Structures are given as C-alpha cells and as structure tokens.
Structure 1
Amino acid sequence: MATEGNKKIIAVCQSGGEFETNKDGTLSYRGGQAHALDIDDRVKFEDFKVEVAEMFSCYMNSMSVKYLLPGNKKTLITISNDKDLKRMVKFCGDSVTVDVYVVAEEIVALNVSDMLSARFSAACGVDHCLDHVDYSKPNLSCFITDTEIQSEFAHHDLGVARMNNGSFGCCPASVIRAARRWQLRFLRQPDHFYYHELQQGLLESRTVIKHLINAEDVDEITVVDNATTAVAIVLQHTAWAFSEGIYDKGDAVLMLHYAYGAVKKSIKAYVSRTGGHVIEVPFNFPVNSNDEIVSEFRKALGKGKANGRKVRLALIDHVTSMPSVVIPVKDLVKICREEGVEQVLVDAAHGVGCVDVDVQEIGADFCTSSLHKWFFCPPSVAFLHCRKKHLDLHHPIVSHEYGNGLPIESGWVGTRDYSPLLVVPSALDFINRFEGGIQGIKKRNHDNVVEIGKMLAEAWGTNLGCPPDMCASMIMVGLPAGLGIAREKDALKLKTHLRKNFGVEVPIYFKDPEDGEGEGESITGYARISHQVYNKIGDYHKYRDAVSQLVSDGFTCACLPD
C-alpha cells in the first residue's frame, strides 16, 4: 500500500486478543493474531480498512481501528478517516512500526480458519448470527467527504458529464478493488474457490440482500447476473405451466405498456409461444397521478378475465425505465390479490438504492432488482426474491447444481466471473460511509433530481413527465419542440450528437405527438435525467446550455445524418 517518496511505516495489525491494564495504568495487548502492512501518509483509510478486514475476515461495518500514541500507553486513539490515519503516521516520528488494534464484534469477526467452513454456511446459522447487524444505517463517526467521493469515481471519463446512471449504474474504486480480489482468489486456485469459497461468499451477499429488502428467510433470495435473468426464471416456470396443460391456452399474462423492452420480448418468447394471451396496461405520458395508472390497470385486468379466462401472472414495474415513472406497486399488487391473479412479479430493476423495496409490504410472489444500477455494485448483479411456496424454480442455464434449489443452482452456471455477485457486502460498506446510509442517498438523489428537473424545464419552457412524488432518482424533462424529434431514431441520434459535440450523456425518450398535432407543435422528446452521488450541478448546467445552444442555432434533428 505504500508509495515511493512518502513517509513509510509498518502497521502491525493485531486482532482477537484482549487489553489488560497494568499497575501503572498502561495498556498491554495479549493474544490474538497479527499481520504486517506497509503504509504511508497517502494511504486512504477506506483502502486500509478493506485490507485489514480481509486480513482478519471481519466486516468493515462492525470493525473499529485503534492505536496507542507513542510514549502514551494509556489512551487508545480511534482512526475514523483519512486525516486520523495520516496523523497516526505523523505521530510515529522516526519509528519503523506502529501497533494497530482491530476491534470487531465477536459474533461477526471470525478466525481465518473458520471463515470458509463456517462463516457463511447455513449450518452455522449465518442469517441468525447477522440479524443484530443494522444493514441500513452507517456506523461511522465521520462521513465520506466530497473529495473522497470524487476519488472513488476518478475512473469516470472526465470529458463527459454522466447523467445516465439509470442505464448502467456506477461502481466506486473501493468496490472495484474488492471485485478484483475475488477474481484473483479464483485465478489463484480455482478448485479451492469453487468447492470451498463461492457458495459461502454468495450466501453472505444473499444475507445482506435479505436484510435490505426485509425478506423472511435467506433461502428466498437468489443472486443472479441481472434482472432480465430473474424475469426469465419466472417466465420459464410460467411457460412450463402452459406447455404441460396446468394453465389453459389463452389464459392471460399482464404487463405494463412501458415494461422494459427486454422483458417484453421475454414475455413474447416464453408466454406467447406456449399459448398465453398477453395484455398490456396502457397509460398516458406525461402522467399526472397514480390514479390514472390504477384506473388503467383495473381496466386491463377486466380484459384479462373476459370470457372466463384466468390471469396467471401480472408483471408490474416498480420504476419504469423509459419513460421513468414510479409505479404505485403496492396498490397494484393489492388489486391483483383482490381480483384473483395467480402470481405477481415485481420488476424493480431500478429498485434497491433508488426506491424503498420491502418485499413483505409489497406482497408480491416474486421481486427482482438490479444491484449495479443504484447499489454501486459492478455490472452485473441482481437478485430474485421468491416466497417460500414458489421455491420450485430453475435457472435457464442448467449446470452441475441443477436440482439443489434455485439459490444454489444460480450460484454456478458455468465458468465465469462471479465477482459482481460476491461484492454486495463491499458495496454496502461504501454506501454506509454516507450520512443516512442508503436512505440518505435516496433522499438526496430524489431532492436533487427534482430541483434539477424543474430548473431544466423552466430554462427550456417545457414540462416534467410526472409529478415529483412519482419520480425517484430519475426525472423526465421535456425537450424544446423546436429540436424536431420526430421518431425514435431522432432521439438516439440527438443523444449521440450531444455526447460527441457537447460532452453530455443523457438518454432521450421519443413520445408520439398527440392526435391532430403536427411536427414541431408538441413536445415529443423527453430527457431522462439521473442523479447519483458523483454528480455535480455543473453537469446539469452543461446539459441545459448545450440544448439551449442547439435551439438558438436553429438546429433540428433533420440536420443529423442517418
């Protein structure tokens, strides 16, 4: 960890022992284990904690780091941030070493020899052992600074203002390093990793997710590569029911008109081909209230039940992608129960880290969410939550774990990089460096994106795509009609033009003009604006000014080559 040209010191990191008070009041440390780590005055505290946590196999959230001042063996000093760590190096003067004490909760911090065989195994009751840990709140005395945030995302292209977190998310440097360590563990000794580390590591991720979404049991949580895979798992089960005659041909599957494109195609591939009748729930955009969506949903359910048909599955988005609107998912699930819909799948790809996801409150049979979009994991990782009565599902890729239960099946679907699925705890550690943890991040993102959306709409003389209470960390803002966005291809070309010529990245949604309105008379393009912790107000001013410049120059999409 040390770099050339800086003051270096060897940190003798110790854990697992006990402090004893001597007769003269000084402290001595007895027992435990020790590891040496080279550091200098430029090492980041977060990086230091990651190394130490891996050394002693303990959770960063439940770990504190302390040291004794040279010449003063009576007072323990706690290291909480970069300044504290740098101060420790400075205080050591000409000393070559410094004793550092890692204090972790006994129930969480385990010996290295126990880690792989017992730490995460169901037999040792990992879920029960970790129930006392608060996964939603930070455990810090000093929160992450703006400088540290920018350092975590220094790998972003500085030439482009990224306002499209919703598409691919973001991953901080500390989590990237954690993923790299998992990759190296596999590459170092693949057999040991496969037989002794992979499933245990996945169980830790599943346990974190269980607490995040308030699931009843860790066995209800399956970690997969993305939400589209999770949806495919459920749709495959539905397709089998049609093929095997459990469902009658013509029974209905319901989805929103604005369901994610890949999901709509999956429904066609799995349901339509096996005899299911697909019904889309339309609603107008811009949307003015939840009541509009609820009303259209009830109408669509009525169509689904017409002529004695049964609605076998309703697929409901928690946050639609394009256009982005927060759906009243609890209300719609309740309606499904009242109307006898057999199963409900909530597609919350934009859920965890963006809106509250409490699976017990939502009450659906299945729920999926990506964790690389708004939860800072590297791409790509998601989970599928299944209520216990629906655990007889299978991964679409059949491999050696087939028949051992969906969570285990999904834990090995061939040789590939599983590190994104294994770093969920590391992502939580990063999140909990922020004031308010995940709840604080969500609130600040929402408040900021609403303020920004209003600023852009006012600057362009347009409107928002929905009320502020129907957006989360993304908001739809109308683009000036004069840009001449006449088709979906125009929206894509304009997005590319703005990136290449103005250094701004924002997806654009094309909306068909209202009946009777000609080209250029109505708003047909809406920018989907995202806000995440790395964004600055200057990013949005840059986008505002770029669009305004195009309008001022008399630019239209017709100017762009196909």
Structure 2
Amino acid sequence: MPSPVNFGRALLPLWPLDPAITYLNHGTVGAVPKAVMAAQAALRDEIERQPARFLLRELTPIGRPDEAPDRALPDGPRSRLRAAAAAIAPWFGVQGNDIVFVDNATAGANAVLASFPLRPGDEVLVTNRTYGAVSRAAAHHAARAGATVRSAHLPFPVASEDELVDALAAALGPRTRLAVLDHVSPETALVMPLARLAALCRGRGVAVLADGAHVPGAMALDIPSLGVDFYTGNLHKWAFSPRSAGLLWAAPEHRASLHPPVISWGAGGGWIAEFDWVGTRDPTPFLCAPDGLKFIDEQLGGREALWARNHAFAREVAEQLTHEWGLAWRTPPSMVASMVTLPLPEAHGRGAGAATQLKNQLLADAAIEAQILAIEDSAGPPGRLYWRFSAQAYNDAQDVERFTKALAAFAGRR
C-alpha cells in the first residue's frame, strides 16, 4: 500500500506552482506535476530524435492505411496511443479500445454533437448548468441539422438528488432526442445523479451525452455503469496529464457513426482509426496520461486516500465558512467531490461584473487565485456571488484562512 501523505502546502514542491501564490483553482485548467512534465520532456526529446519513425510508425499504425506496414522495425509496428489508452482504461471501468483521446471535453462533446443523427424538428436538451462552450456547440450543430436546443432549469442549491431528477423529467419533451448532462456541474460543482438522470432519459428514448470534464482523477468513475450513450472528460485537470488531453467513450452501438471534428487518413477505418490519427500534432499529453495517474498512486498516497481527503476537505470548508458567515448551505455529502461551490456574503456584491472584480482583486492584492462566479440560484435575486473551491493535495487550511482574511479586508473597502 502507498505510504500515508501529509497533504497541504508541504506538497507544493511536486508542482511548478509559484509558492507566492495561494492557488485555490485547480479545477479550471489543472496544474501539471513536475514528474509528469519531465516524462513529457523526455518523450518530446525522443520524438525529435526520429520524428517520422515515432509519429508515422510507432504512434499508431493507422497514419497511412494505404501504405504497407514497415517491417524493417526490429520489433514491428507499435501503437503507443493504444498502449496509453490501455494503461488508463482500468481507472474508468473500460478496456483500452473502448476509449479514444480527444484534446479536451469540449472537443469530445463536439464530436458527438456533429455525429449524432439529428433531423429537422428534433430537439437537443441542455441545462442552465451546461458548460457555456458545450451549450454553444449544441446550438451550432443543432442548427445545421434543422433541430432546436432547449434548456432545462435545474435548481441550485439543492437538498436532494430528487430535485434534479424531477426538474429533468419535467423538461424532457416528445421531440427530445439527445440530452447533454453534466457529471460534475462546472459552476455549482454538484456531483449530479447521472445514472438516475440517464435512466430517466433512456426510458423515454433519449440518448445521453455526459460531460465529465471534472471527473477523471477526481472521483471514482465506472463509465459503463452510468448507462449513458457517450461520455467525455478531461485528463489535464484532476488526472494530472499535460494540457490538453481528454477522453471520449461511446457505447458500442454508436461507435461506427462517431467521427472526430477533423477527418484524416483514418476515415473509414472505424472510430479508433479516425480519432487516433487526425493529422500531425503533439501526442505527448495523451501519452503521458498514464504518468499523471501513476503520480496519484505513487506520490499522493493512492487514489482512494486522495479522494477521501479532498472530498472531506471540500465539504469541511463549505460547512465551516457558511456557518461563520451565517449563510445556508445544504448540499448532500453524496453531491460533493473534489470541488465545492458555496455562497459569499452579500457585502461582495452581485452580478458578473462584481465576480470578475473580486476574482481579479484577490489575485492582484492578495496573491490568491480563486474562482469567483455569479450564479443563477433559487434562493433570491439573480447573480449572487459564489466561490468554487478546488480541494487539491497541495491545499490546506492555511490557504483557506488567507482567502477568508482577504475577503474580509475587501468587504471593508466597499
């Protein structure tokens, strides 16, 4: 078993993060550990020693299907991409050939939205919590097919999963053919009851595209057990891959009709052939995905220990601060993973402008990087400010104390 780890700022030397900055926003773009950066640098050096061999012979045998395999290699053609996929697949309850690499979760969502057989009059259902880029992609691809997009209103805050299930049930309509659902909501940070939501959709003949941008590496994930049709997620956030790297899974019945946004030499060769070769690009973020996950198990005490600590820390911070501020917070424990979103005191204002101002002020005046959001909620006037706290291994109570002291100081200046 991995050795116990003393979580907190003592772990900061494992990352290249500036120690002068209190970094409370891991969830936005991740932070790559030094060990993974070293592995990536070594791979890039290897590529540049023999670029054509690595990229056109070793990366994937699919690069030029019109050419015969090069048997001059001593060990024969290899597929490093497939080896990397096979190495990370057990973390997600799948086999290596069940997943393909994509640049990020938004790219995976675009692949599904562009490939899904929408017809004029069909409807794609998103929610008021769907990531903005994915909502725009849904509108774009639906319009090209003559379909429409409708947004379901999901309440926030919530005291039970039932509130979300009921809201989605009310939003599904007779023309809904595809629902885009979050696994972890990007702004509210709620762990959604995805299996229940997917069962509801599929019971009404609606396919489900799950956006798991914040899930791989942050919590346990068994994709097939969720009952979704498509699942995409980022590897460069909580799974510690270099940027940018993501994965895409599709149920077997959908794979033949699923295509990447870039059509290249793999066209017609099946979904793995198409996604593994979309032209010349830097493959090292994908190839280092196993290194990112290995870092969790070897340097952070193992996945179970990391998840238990981060989940407990996130919840403790939310409970403590909302109690101190005299604010209501009722999120069930099952809906908190490695991030948590909690309301800020009214003294900090309302609306997107106030959120941006506070976020920038924290960084400029207090050297704190924190995600401040103006969120539509069900508790009062629109635009209340919230803090989405990312609990990562290198964060501790002292970081949170710096944040709260800065908040108090800023509130006094308004």
> 2:149 maps to which residue?
278
1:173-212 to 2 correspondences below 5 Å: 173-199=34-60, 200-212=79-91
Q: Which amino acid aligns with 1:491?
A: A
* Offset from partner CA, 1:488-520 (integer Å, 9 cap, x none): 122112101111101111111213587986xxx
Q: Any idea what SS the aligned residue of 1:369 has?
A: strand
Indicate which of 359, 373, 382 corresponds to 1:509.
Answer: 373
| 1:482-561 equivalences in 2 (<5 Å) | 482-485=347-350, 487-512=351-376, 524-551=384-411, 553-555=412-414
Q: Report if the CA contact (8 A) 2:208-2:228 is conserved.
A: yes
Identify the match of residue 104 of structure 2 among 226, 230, 238.
226
Q: Does 1:266 align with 2:266?
A: no
User: Does structure 1 retain, via aligned residues, the 8 Å contact 2:242–2:285?
Assistant: yes
Cα distance between partner residues in 2 of 1:475 and 1:272: 35
1:370 maps onto 2:230 in alignment = no
RMSD: 2.1
Determine helix, strand or coil for the equivalent of 1:432. Answer: helix
Structure 2 residue 23 is the aligned partner of structure 1 residue 152: no
Structure 2 alignment gaps of length 5 or more: 61-78
User: Distance between the aligned counterparts of 2:379 and 2:239, measured in 1?
Assistant: 41
Q: Within 2, Cα distance between the matches of 1:328 and 1:490?
A: 31
What is the aligned partner in structure 1 of residue 115 from structure 2? 237
3-state SS of 1:433 partner: helix
Determine the C-alpha separation between the residues in 2 that align with 1:168 and 1:401: 30
Query: Is structure 2 residue 331 aligned with structure 1 residue 461?
Result: no
Structure 1 SS opposite 2:361? helix
Q: How far apart, CA to CA, are the structure 1 residues paired with 2:107 and 2:376?
A: 31
* Counterpart-to-counterpart distance in 2, 1:541 and 1:280: 38
Q: CA deviation at 1:143?
A: 5.3
| Amino acid across the alignment from 1:440 | A
Structure 1: which 5+ residue stretches go unaligned?
Answer: 1-138, 556-562
Alignment correspondent of 2:216: 352
Q: Displacement, 1:440?
A: 1.9
Deviation of 1:144 (Å) = 5.6
- Specify the alignment match of 1:166 in structure 2: 27
Cα distance change of structure 1 residues 226 and 282 upon mapping to structure 2, 3 Å threshold:
same
**Displacement after TM superposition at 1:148 (Å):** 7.7
Q: What is the alpha-carbon distance in structure 2 between the residues aligned to residue 167 and residue 467 of structure 1?
A: 23
| Paired residues of 1:480 and 1:523 also in contact (CA < 8 A) | no
Deviates more, 1:291-300 or 1:507-516: 507-516
Whole-angstrom CA distance in 1 between matches of 2:148 and 2:199: 22
Q: Which structure ranks higher in relative contact order (CA pairs < 8 Å, sequence separation ≥ 6)?
A: 2
Any conservation in 1 of the 2:152–2:167 contact (CA below 8 Å)? yes
Whether 2:205 is the aligned partner of 1:340: answer yes
Q: Provide the rounded CA distance (Å) in 1 between the counterparts of 2:25 and 2:157.
A: 20
Match of 1:68 in 2: none
Deviation at 1:539, TM superposition (A): 0.9
SS at 2:298 equivalent: coil
Query: Which AA in structure 2 matches 1:164?
Result: N
TM-score (norm 1): 0.67
Distance 1:420 1:149, change over 3 A: same
| Cα shift at 1:461 | 2.7
The correspondence of residues 280-359 of structure 1 with structure 2, limited to 5 A, is 280-301=151-172, 304-305=173-174, 309=175, 311-341=176-206, 343-359=207-223
In 2, Cα distance between equivalents of 1:161 and 1:294: 37
2:267 aligned to which of 402, 410, 413: 402
C-alpha distance after superposition, 1:310-366 (max 9, x if no partner): x2211110001012211100101111122121x211111111122322112101111
Equivalents in 2 of 1:514, 1:465: separation in Å?
Answer: 13
Deviation at 1:264, TM superposition (A): 0.2
1:97-139, CA deviations, whole angstroms, 9 ceiling, x for partnerless residues?
Answer: xxxxxxxxxxxxxxxxxxxxxxxxxxxxxxxxxxxxxxxxxx6
Deviation at 1:432, TM superposition (A): 1.1
Number of residue pairs matched by the alignment? 394
In structure 1, how many angstroms separate the alpha carbons of the residues matched to 2:331 and 2:144? 35
Range with greater deviation from structure 2 (354-363 or 522-531): 522-531
Structure-to-structure mapping, 1:51-130, within 5 angstroms = none
TM-score relative to the length of structure 2: 0.90
Matched to 2:90, the amino acid is H
Alpha-carbon distance between aligned partners in 2 of 1:183 and 1:435, rounded to the nearest angstrom: 26
Q: Is the 8 A contact 1:479 1:523 kept in 2?
A: no
Give me the whole-angstrom Cα distance separating, in 1, the residues matched to 2:114 and 2:383: 39
| Alpha-carbon contact 1:220-1:391 (below 8 Å) kept | no
Contact preservation (8 Å) 1:233, 1:394:
yes
* Contact preservation (8 Å) 2:39, 2:291: yes
Quick one: distance in 1 between partners of 2:370 and 2:277?
36
- The percent of aligned pairs where both chains have the same amino acid is 33
Alpha-carbon spacing, 1:465–1:183, altered in 2? closer, same or farther (3 Å):
farther
